[in-house]
Amino acid sequence: MHRPLLGRLASLLYDNGILIYKTFAEGNEKYGSPKSKKYLLKTKELLKLETPELKILKFNEDLTKINGNKKKMQTAIFKKIKN
C-alpha cells in the first residue's frame, strides 16, 4: 500500500471502471507481517476514499486466512462514476 497514490485512484480508472482494493489493516500485527503502522490501514480507512466520482460498491473488514495464516484485511470494491 502506498498512501500517496490513494487520492489518485479515480484518475487511474476509466469511466465505469471497477477497482478491487484489498490490503492489510491495523490488528494484523497480532498475526504476523506486515506489522508497521506505515503499512496497515486504520479501521475503515478505505471508506474515506469515496468521492462523488469514486463510489464504494462493497466494503469488508475482517480476519481472513492466507496460506493458512490469519490476516486482518480491508477490501473495497470501487466504481468510477462517469463524468
Distance CA 29, CA 64 (A): 14
Cell numbers 464504494 label which residue? 56
Task: Tell me the whole-structure pTM to 2 decimals.
Answer: 0.85
Q: What is the pLDDT of residues 24-73, one digit of tens each?
A: 999 999 998 999 988 899 999 999 999 999 999 999 999 999 889 999 99
Phi, psi for 33 (deg, rounded to 5): -85, 155
